Amino acid sequence: MVFADQDDVVRLRDLIEAAGTVVIFTGAGISTESGIPDFRSPGGLWTKYQPIDFRDFMASEAMRRESWRRKFAMDRTMNTAEPNRGHRAVERLVNRGKVSAVITQNIDGLHQASGIPDEQVIELHGNTTYAKCLTCGLRHELEPIKTAFLADETMPVCTGCGSEYMKTATISFGQSMPETEMARAQRETLACDLFIAIGSSLVVYPAAGFPVMAKQNRAGMVILNREPTDLDSHADLVINGEIGPTLGDAVAVN
C-alpha cells in the first residue's frame, strides 16, 4: 500500500475548493479496491491474458468464443463488486455540484452504482452489462446468452439479423471510439477549470488525451495514482497514493 503525503491531500482539497467546475477522469485503478483487477498492476488481467484486438475478434470465431469465456469468467467478480471509498468521494463531489461529469474508461458501472446520475457518467469504453449486434446494432440482454454459452458454449446469434458478430457493449482495442461520448468528454474537458485523473495508467489513447487537453486549455490538472504515469510532467499536482484513502480524506467521506 502506498499512502499519500498528507500535505498533498490538503493541496488537493484546496484545489477542489478553489475550482468552479471540476471534471473527474477515472481508470481501472479506482475499482481495484472493489475487487476488480486492473490491467497493468502486478496480478492485473494482463498477467493472465492479452486483450483481444477488435480485428482478431472479427476475423476469428475462436477469438469470439474466447472473449465470451473471459467475459463470463469475470462476471461473478463484476456482478458482486460494490463501490468503494474512492467512488463515494467522487459521488459526493458530483452531488455537491462541484463535479460536472465523470469521464471513465471503466466498464463496470460502479460510478452509477455509487449514486451518480447516468447522464453525468461518460463511458468512453462502453459497458459490459449488455451485448450488441455489431452488424445491425440491436441490443441484447446477457442472461439468455450466458445460459446458453455456459451450458455447451453455444455462440450467440442476433435474433434481429442472424449475424454471428455479437459482442458485449464495450470498446475493444482497435475498435472505433463512441462518437457521442467522445464529443461530450471533450466538451466537459474544455469547460472545466480543474481536471483530476484517477487510477489510470494514462497510456490508452485516445482516452489519455483528455488530461493534456484540459491542461492546454489552462485548467489545473491533478494525477492520482499509486505509481508514476507517463503524463506526470504535465500535471500541476501528482499524488502517489491509494485512491480510496486519499480521496476519502480529501473530500471527508468514509
Residue nearer to ligand NAD on the CB measure, 106 or 114? 106
84 binds ligand NAD (CB under 6 A): no
Residue nearer to Zn ion on the CB measure, 21 or 170? 170
Edge to edge, the sheet with strand 22-26 lists: 121-123, 99-104, 22-26, 194-198, 220-225, 237-240
13 binds ligand NAD (CB under 6 A): no
140 is catalytic: no
CA–CA dist 108, 72 (Å, integer): 14
In the 3-class helix/strand/coil scheme, how is 154-218 assigned residue by residue?
A: CCCCCCCCCCCCEEEEECCCCCCCCHHHHHHHHHHHHHCCEEEEECCCCCCCCCCHHHHHHHHCC
**List 4, 15, 19, 28, residue binding ligand NAD (CB under 6 A):** 28
DSSP label at residue 96:
T
For residue 198, the cross-strand partners are 26, 224
Query: Grid coordinates 470465431 are at which residue?
Result: 61
36 binds ligand NAD (CB under 6 A): yes
Residue nearer to ligand NAD on the CB measure, 34 or 158? 34
8 binds ligand NAD (CB under 6 A): no
- Report the site for Zn ion in 132-151 (rule: CB under 5 A): 133, 135-136, 138
Of 36-44, 63-71, 92-100, 148-156, the window that binds ligand NAD (rule: CB under 6 A) is 36-44
Instruction: Choose the contact partner of 133 out of Zn ion, ligand NAD, none; CB within 5 to 8 A by kind.
Output: Zn ion
Contact 251, 16 (CB under 8 A): yes
x/- binding map, residues 104-143, to ligand NAD, per CB under 6 A? -xxxx----------------x------------------
209 binds ligand NAD (CB under 6 A): no
Q: Any residues with CB less than 8 A from the CB of 20 and at least 6 apart, and which?
A: 193
Instruction: Choose the contact partner of 161 out of ligand NAD, Zn ion, none; CB within 5 to 8 A by kind.
Output: Zn ion
What is the torsional sign of CA 39, 45, 48, 52? negative
Q: Which spans of this chain sit near ligand NAD (rule: CB under 6 A)?
A: 27-29, 31-33, 36, 38-41, 44-45, 105-108, 125, 199-201, 204, 225-227, 242-243
Active centre residues (catalytic): 125
